[in-house]
Amino acid sequence: AIRMTQSPSSFSASTGDRVTITCRASQGISSYLAWYQQKPGKAPKLLIYAASTLQSGVPSRFSGSGSGTDFTLTISCLQSEDFATYYCQQYYSYPLFTFGPGTKVDIK
Amino acid sequence: EVQLVESGGGLVKPGGSLRLSCAASGFTFSSYSMNWVRQAPGKGLEWVSSISSSSSYIYYADSVKGRFTISRDNAKNSLYLQMNSLRAEDTAVYYCARVYDYGARGWVDIWGQGTMVTVSS
């Protein structure tokens, strides 16, 4: 089974910061990676698919990059509504999805 | 508006059963693969099961194989998860999730609001 890891597991940041979250797959997954945002008590929301394609309606301050085993999610200018937990998910082994453990971004 | 609404969660004793439902609206349900994904309290997301648009292909996570059964009724725009032999570790919010199929693969693009399942004596 493909295992996903994320780093860091959590961190504090300030509004306006540029933040980067890393996701790593235990084996090559090409670009079959999605990123989700989840706020407390809410369902996850799709941000990015195919490693770098922004889902319709998602602000352009979010971007994704990477292929193979190493991926990043970048928020160029952190806004108050971006404080949340972010998950990566591989779909290379579709339909057997695997999620990363999540990265919590909170207010410094 | 595209919407998924889960129901059927609740408190059940270990070894008991529960059936979750997910009502879909705002899209052609019969054209999409569907998933169940769960999240234990304070934990991350765990894929549980997947069913193709015509129910031809069904998959389960090892953690639920042999105990859970996924099904769908395209005429009723509904997805189901029959959960038997429930364990404490099955306690979680269960999300219904639509898969956007693209070529040979797909990703989850729409999530329901979730329904809580608590397994406790």
CB B46 to CB A99 under 8 A?
yes
Q: Is A23 on the interface with B (CB under 8 A)?
A: no
Is cis: bond before A95, omega within 30 of 0?
yes
pLDDT for the residue numbered A108: 87
| Each residue's pLDDT tens digit, A23-70 | 999 999 999 999 999 999 999 999 999 999 999 999 999 999 999 999
B111: closest chain A residue by CA: A43
- A106 within 8 A of A17, measured Cβ to Cβ: no
Cβ-defined contact of B112 to A43 (cutoff 8 Å): yes
Of A38, A28, A35, A43, nearest in space to A88 by CA: A35
Of residues A95, A98, A101, nearest to B33 (C-beta): A95
State the pLDDT at residue A10: 96
CB atoms within 10 A of CB A75: 21
Are B68 and B76 in contact by the 8 Å Cβ rule? The answer is no
pLDDT by residue for chain B (121 residues), tens digit each?
A: 999 999 999 999 999 999 999 999 999 999 999 999 999 999 999 999 999 999 999 999 999 999 999 999 999 999 999 999 999 999 999 999 999 988 889 999 999 999 999 999 9
For residue A34, the chain B residue with the least C-alpha distance is B107
Give the pLDDT of residue B15: 98
